[in-house]
Amino acid sequence: AQSVTQLDSQVPVFEEAPVELRCNYSSSVSVYLFWYVQYPNQGLQLLLKYLSGSTLVKGINGFEAEFNKSQTSFHLRKPSVHISDTAEYFCAVSPRDDKIIFGKGTRLHILP
Amino acid sequence: ETGVTQSPTHLIKTRGQQVTLRCSSQSGHNTVSWYQQALGQGPQFIFQYYREEENGRGNFPPRFSGLQFPNYSSELNVNALELDDSALYLCASEPGQGHHTGELFFGEGSRLTVL
């Protein structure tokens, strides 16, 4: 069975500072990895995805994530956050051609 | 190109009642999935529909059922509502031809409160 652990339920960070949101997964098979973002009162939106190939994946809004197979991690990073990045971020894993499993989410608070 | 739309946006029901939630998939997407997102949790997979047939189901009881129509729109029905069914119900479509690609396009959800 697969599972996703997001290590921080909330992350406060000052505007224009860098941020890292941590995600670890467990799986006995090869998986696809995703980060989704949920802005207040909205549905989820795909931020970036890792299917294969380069372990550094770039997404929308200046976010990037690095797949680390040995540490089973897929941490999300942004070098400089903006107030508009305030949202909940979900890490997700999907075994090839199987349902996607979401983590519990990390709420990103941007401080002025 | 229209996105995924869901209705109603909010509704309140009482225990034991039945509810139907509706979803129109994104243009060109023939695969629809439903998710339950309880407060403070990530979305949990309920089931997926492709070509009007259920194509995979998560750990939800049979009182959660669905339909997909020829135009790819979908319904989620929940019978005998329980207090724990209170959640945001998300519909997601994908052009996956019945496969799970993980690249989901979500609607804004229907928030169900069960009293």
Provide long-range contacts, Cβ within 8 A and 24+ apart, for B49-58: B49/B74, B50/B96, B50/B97, B50/B98, B51/B98, B55/B31, B55/B98, B56/A98, B56/A99, B56/B100, B58/A99
Residue B1's pLDDT is what? Answer: 56
**Across the interface, which of A43, A100, A104 has its CB nearest the CB of B102?**
A100
**Across the interface, which of B104, B107, B109 has its CB nearest the CB of A100?**
B104
Separation between Cα atoms, residue B72 and residue A104, nearest integer Å: 29
φ, ψ (nearest 5 deg) of residue B100: -90, 105
Contact flag A46-B4 (C-beta cutoff 8 Å): no
- Sort out which chain B residues have CB atoms less than 8 A from A103's CB and list them: 42
SS3 A60: helix
* Tens-digit pLDDT profile for residues A59-110: 999 999 999 999 999 999 999 999 999 999 999 998 876 788 999 999 999 9
* Tens-digit pLDDT profile for residues A44-67: 999 999 988 889 999 999 999 999
Contact flag B40-A104 (C-beta cutoff 8 Å): yes
B83 beta partners:
none
Residue B78's pLDDT is what? Answer: 98
Spell out which chain B residues touch chain A, with contact meaning CB-CB distance below 8 angstroms.
4, 33, 40-45, 48, 56, 58, 90, 92, 99-109
Q: Nearest CA to CA, how far is B104 from chain A (Å)?
A: 7
Contact flag A46-B56 (C-beta cutoff 8 Å): no
Token duo for residue A7: 């290590």
Spell out which chain A residues touch chain B, with contact meaning CB-CB distance below 8 angstroms.
4, 32, 34, 36, 41-46, 49, 90, 92, 94, 97-105
pLDDT by residue for chain B (115 residues), tens only, comes to 568 999 999 999 999 999 999 999 988 888 999 999 999 899 999 999 988 999 889 999 999 999 999 988 999 999 999 999 999 999 999 876 666 667 899 999 999 999 9
SS3 A112: coil
What DSSP character marks residue B81? -
- Sort out which chain A residues have CB atoms less than 8 A from B33's CB and list them: 99
Q: How far is CA B22 from CA A103, B77, B85, B109, in A?
A: 25, 9, 16, 10
- Sort out which chain B residues have CB atoms less than 8 A from A34's CB and list them: 102-103
Report the C-alpha dihedral over residues B46, B48, B53, B54, rounded to 10 degrees. Answer: -40
Separation between Cα atoms, residue B96 and residue A97, nearest integer Å: 10
Token duo for residue A66: 């690095």
Residue B13's pLDDT is what? Answer: 97
φ, ψ (nearest 5 deg) of residue A6: -100, 115
Nearest CA in chain A to B56: A99
- Whether pLDDT at A11 is above 90: yes
